[in-house]
Amino acid sequence: MPDGGTMVIEKKSGIYLCEGCGIADAIDVDALEALATGDLKTPHCKRHAAYCSAEGVAEIAADVKNGDVNQVLIAACSPRVMTDRFNFPGAQIIRANMREQVIWSHPPGEEDTNMLAADQLRIAVAQAGQFSPPEPHAEAEVAGALLLVVGGGVTGLTAALEAAHTGAEVILVEKTDTLGGWTRKWSRLLPERPPYRDPQPNDIADLIAAVEGDKAITVMTNTLVTSTAGGPGAFDVTLTQNGKNQSQSVGAIVVATGWRPYDPSLLEGLGYGASPDVVSDIEFEEILSSGEMKRKSNGDALNTVAFIISGDSDRMPYSSGLSDRIVIKQALQLLEAVPEAMIYVMHEDLRAHGMAEEFYRQAQEAGIIFQNGVVKSVGADLTITLEDRLIGEDVPMSGFDMVVLSTGMVPNSTNVDLEPAAKGADQLVDDVNPLAALLAAAKAGDGEEKAEEAPAPDTSEEADQDGANGEAAMPGGPILNLQYRQGPHLPVLANGYADSHFICFPYETRRTGIYTCGPVRRAMSVAEARQDAQGAVLKAFQAMRAADKAVSVHPRVGDLSYPEFGLDICTKCRRCTVECPFGAIDEMEDGYPVLNPTRCRRCGTCMGACPVRTINFKNYNISMITDMIKAVDVPDEFAEKPRILVFACENDAYPALDMAGINRHQLTPYVRILPVRCLGSVSATWVSTALESGYDGIMLLGCKSGDDYQCHFVKGSAIAQERMESVGATLESMMLEKERVRTEEVSIADSARVTALLNDYADEIKAIGYNPFKGF
C-alpha cells in the first residue's frame, strides 16, 4: 500500500446465526434475529441448521461472492474451531462464541443464558465496527536465506550443516582458532541409541570434516560478532576477524555459544585443590582420553575411585541429570580399563531419567556401587566422610586412589573474555532474579574474582527508567552486540541461561530472528545439543520466510497486522520502547518510537503500555475493545445481576474457558469474556471504561509469569500484573474496593480451575456489592 493511507471500503456486515450443535434448543434464536435486525441494525441476518455444513458454508460464500457482505459475523462455535471452513477470502471473519462459552457452560432456556447470548452478539457487532483488514507493513527488504551461526562447537556445527542441507548459505563464526568446542576433548559420548547401555564413540571429527567440506558453509575462526542491527530477514552484522571488520547482511541468527565448566573449587569442603588426586569430571575426561589410568600424585594405578555427585545448591542449576549421566559414563569407562577397580558413586540424588535408567542399570550390573548420602568432607588423604542416610551414621571411607567431582555447565550467554559493554550493560535480566547473571559469572572460571570485576548496576537516570525492578549488569561483553534500544545483550533468565521457554517454545529468544540452542539455554548432552540445533535452524528458516512475507512468527504465526503509532499525539514517554518484550521498538534521534516490524510479534504490549492510546492495530485496537466493553447490556442494580468482565488471553486462558464448556463445567451467568492477544495488551483505559460502564468486577486471565513463565509473549503477563497494581491504587482513590480488579494465572489445562475461579469471584463480588458507578 502506498503512503496515501488506507483505502476506505464500505463495511457490509452479515450476521449468520447457527442453529446447530443444540444452540437453537438452548437459546432463543428468534430473539437474537430480532436483536440483529433491530437494535444492532444489521438487516442482513440469516440462520441455518448447521453453518459448518457444506450447504451452510456455500450460503455464506455466495453472499461474499455477490458482494452482499464483506464482514461475516458468525454466531456459532468458538473462534478456535472450524477456522478452515469459516474462511472466506475477501471478507473479514468475526465470530461470536455461542457454543463453548454459552450453551455448553450455561443451563438451556434460562433468561440469564439468553441475556449472555444477546451480549455475545452485541460484542461481535461492536468488534466488527472497529475492525479493518490488516495490510502488510511496507518494508519487506530481505537478505535471502543467509544464516549466521555463532559458535563452532557441536551445536553450531550441527546447525550450520543442517541449514546448509536445507538450502541456506551459512556463515559459521567461532571465536577460537579451532572447531569442535569441548566435544573435541571427550573420550567417548553418552549413549544415544538402543540399548542405551554403553558409552559410544565420539564422532566429532566427522562432523567438523563435513562442515569444512560443505561449499554452502563459510567458516570463520578467530572471529567475533561485534555489532548486530536490523531485524529478521535483514540483520546487519559486523564480523571481526583478527581485528579486521566485515559487514554482512544475514536473514537470521543461530546462537550456539555453549558453556564453560563450573568451577570445582566452589564445591566447598570436597577437597578440590587439597590433593592432586581430587579432580573435576572435566579433568577426569582427560585421564580417560589419555588411557593412562593413574594417580596424579604418584602415578599409582587407579584401584579404588570415588565419584561425588554433590547436592550443593549453587551447583545444582548448572548440573542437571546430565552431570550424573557423565559420572556413570566415566565410571563405566574406568571399569572397562581397570576391571578389578572398586568404584563408588556417592550421591545425594541421582538423576537418570528416561533411557538413562538403562545406563544406570548397566553401571550397577557392572559392579559400580552407588552409595546414597551427603559427602561432608574430603580430606587431603582422600578420606571421604559420608553421611550415609541408609545406615544412619557418618561413615569415614578411606583408601581411595582418586576422587572425581561432578561439576556442571555454566552457559556462555555472554562473552566473558570481553570487557562489559560501555553502554547498555544495564541489561534487563528479567523480572526474576536480577542478580542471576552475576551469580552465574561467579560460578565459572576464576569465580569470585570475576564477580568483583563485573561492573555495578548502572544507576544513572536512564538505567532507572529502563530497569523497572529487575536490572543488573551482565558479566563480560555481549555476544551479538545488538544495536537495539533495549541493550546489546540477549536477555537471560535465572542463572544466566539464555531466555527461552523450556517446554513450549524452547528456541525463541526475546529477540525475534535470533534463536539460541545447545547448552547456552540449558545444560545438555551432545546428542541433545544436536537435536536442539536442528530445532533452532528450522525456527530460523521460519523467521526468514515470515520476514519475506511481512508476517509474524510465533505465536501469532502468519499475522499480517502490526502496531501503528500515531506520533502526532505521542509524548515520547518511551513506555512502548521499554516494555516491548521483544525489543522491536527503537527510538529515533528525536525521541519518537520507531517500529522494526520484522522484530514485532504482534502481542500488543506496546498498545497496552501507551498512556495516550496512540498505538493501534488495524484489527485490534483501543477503540475496538472499548466498544466491545460498552456493547454489553449491563443491568441496573435492581435487576440483581452483577456483571463481571473477563479479559482472557487467547493463548491459554480463552482455550481453557472453551475446554470448560467442552467439559460442561457450569459458569456463573454474570461473566462476559473478551479474548485479548496477551494480558500485556490490556490498557488501563479498558479497565476504567468497564468500571464507568457499570461492571462490578474485572478479571484478567493470563499465563504464568516468573522464571518458569508460560506467557507466550514472555513478559506480557508480568507487565499486566505490574500495571494492575497501580490500577489498584487508583481504585482506592476512587473509593472502590481493589478486589474489583483481579489478575489470575491459568494454564490451558485448567478448565476446572478457571471455572471455579470465576464462580468464586462472582460470589465475592456479590458479597462486596454493586459498583456504585452503575447507572451513571
Partner 1 sequence: MTAALPETAENRYDLGFARWVRDNVEGGDKLSLCMQCGACSGSCPIGTQMDHGPRKIIAMIRAGMKDEVLSSNTLWNCTSCYRCTVRCPRGIPVTSIIQDLAAKAVEFGYADKKENALFAKSFWWSTSAFGRTDERLVTARYYFSLGFLEGIRRGLANLKIALGMVRTGRMHLGMPHKIKDIKGLTAILARAAEIEAEEANDEL
Taking the complex as a whole, how short is the minimal distance between the CB of residue 566 and ligand SF4, in angstroms?
8
Residue 43 contacts partner 1 per CB under 8 A: no
Give the binding range for partner 1 (CB under 8 A) out of 118-126, 204-212, 389-397, 757-765: 389-397
Residue 107 contacts partner 1 per CB under 8 A: no
Give the binding range for partner 1 (CB under 8 A) out of 396-404, 420-428, 452-460, 625-633: 396-404
623: partner contacted, choices partner 1, ligand SF4, none (Cβ within 5-8 A by kind): none
Taking the complex as a whole, how short is the minimal distance between the CB of residue 49 and ligand SF4, in angstroms?
40
Cβ-contact 94, 37 below 8 angstroms: no
How far from 438 is each of 290, 501, 502, CA to CA, in Å?
Answer: 36, 21, 22
Residue 726 contacts partner 1 per CB under 8 A: no
Cβ-contact 153, 518 below 8 angstroms: yes
CA–CA dist 243, 256 (Å, integer): 22
Closer residue to ligand SF4 (CB): 530 or 599: 599
Closer residue to partner 1 (CB): 226 or 383: 383
- Find all residues with CB under 8 Å of 564, minimum gap 6, and list them: 615, 616, 617, 618
304: partner contacted, choices partner 1, ligand SF4, none (Cβ within 5-8 A by kind): partner 1
Q: How many CB atoms lie within 10 A of CB 340?
A: 9
Cβ-contact 455, 425 below 8 angstroms: yes
Closer residue to ligand SF4 (CB): 515 or 565: 565
CA–CA dist 758, 762 (Å, integer): 6
610: partner contacted, choices ligand SF4, partner 1, none (Cβ within 5-8 A by kind): ligand SF4
Closer residue to ligand SF4 (CB): 333 or 651: 651
Cβ-contact 13, 71 below 8 angstroms: yes
CA–CA dist 409, 498 (Å, integer): 13
- Find all residues with CB under 8 Å of 207, minimum gap 6, and list them: 154, 157, 158, 161, 180
CA–CA dist 517, 257 (Å, integer): 8
582: partner contacted, choices partner 1, ligand SF4, none (Cβ within 5-8 A by kind): ligand SF4
Q: Are strands 514-516 and 564-565 parallel, antiparallel or unpaired?
A: unpaired
209: partner contacted, choices partner 1, ligand SF4, none (Cβ within 5-8 A by kind): none
395: partner contacted, choices ligand SF4, partner 1, none (Cβ within 5-8 A by kind): partner 1
- Find all residues with CB under 8 Å of 472, minimum gap 6, and list them: 426, 427, 429, 434, 435, 436, 437, 438, 457
Residue 6 contacts partner 1 per CB under 8 A: no
What angle, rounded to 10 degrees, do the helices at 526-549 and 154-166 form? 40
Give the binding range for partner 1 (CB under 8 A) out of 364-372, 498-506, 532-540, 723-731: 364-372
Closer residue to partner 1 (CB): 286 or 387: 387
572: partner contacted, choices partner 1, ligand SF4, none (Cβ within 5-8 A by kind): ligand SF4
Residue 364 contacts partner 1 per CB under 8 A: yes
Binding-site size, partner 1 (CB under 8 A): 22
When binding is defined by CB under 8 A, the residue of 276, 396, 566, 769 that contacts partner 1 is 396
When binding is defined by CB under 8 A, the residue of 391, 557, 569, 749 that contacts partner 1 is 391
237: partner contacted, choices partner 1, ligand SF4, none (Cβ within 5-8 A by kind): none
Name the site residues for ligand SF4 (rule: CB under 6 A): 563, 565, 570-576, 580, 582, 584-585, 593, 595, 600-606, 609-610, 612, 614-615
User: What x/- string results for residues 494 through 513 when contact with partner 1 is judged by CB under 8 A?
Assistant: --------------------
Quote the distance between the C-alpha of residue 577 and its chain's center: 19
Maximal C-alpha separation, the chain:
97
602: partner contacted, choices ligand SF4, partner 1, none (Cβ within 5-8 A by kind): ligand SF4
Q: What is the dihedral of CA 25, 26, 29, 32, to 10 degrees?
A: 180
User: What x/- string results for residues 278 through 317 when contact with partner 1 is judged by CB under 8 A?
Assistant: --------------------------x-------------
Taking the complex as a whole, how short is the minimal distance between the CB of residue 321 and ligand SF4, in angstroms?
22
Please name the amino acid found at residue 231. Answer: G
> Which runs of consecutive H residues, i.e. helices, occur in 280-315?
281-290
When binding is defined by CB under 8 A, the residue of 147, 368, 580, 610 that contacts partner 1 is 368
Cβ-contact 280, 272 below 8 angstroms: yes
Strand ranges, E, within 328-430: 342-347, 369-378, 384-388, 393-397, 402-405, 409-411
When binding is defined by CB under 8 A, the residue of 84, 206, 365, 452 that contacts partner 1 is 365
Closer residue to partner 1 (CB): 371 or 481: 371
Residue 397 contacts partner 1 per CB under 8 A: yes
Closer residue to ligand SF4 (CB): 603 or 625: 603
Closer residue to ligand SF4 (CB): 58 or 588: 588
Taking the complex as a whole, how short is the minimal distance between the CB of residue 188 and partner 1, in angstroms?
21
How far from 422 is each of 431, 448, 454, CA to CA, in Å?
Answer: 23, 22, 12
Taking the complex as a whole, how short is the minimal distance between the CB of residue 608 and ligand SF4, in angstroms?
8
Q: What is the dihedral of CA 490, 493, 498, 504, to 10 degrees?
A: -120
How far from 66 is each of 90, 152, 702, CA to CA, in Å?
Answer: 11, 59, 41
Q: Are strands 188-189 and 200-201 parallel, antiparallel or unpaired?
A: antiparallel
Closer residue to partner 1 (CB): 368 or 720: 368
Q: Point out which residues bind partner 1 (CB under 8 A).
A: 304, 342, 344, 364-372, 386, 388, 390-391, 395-400
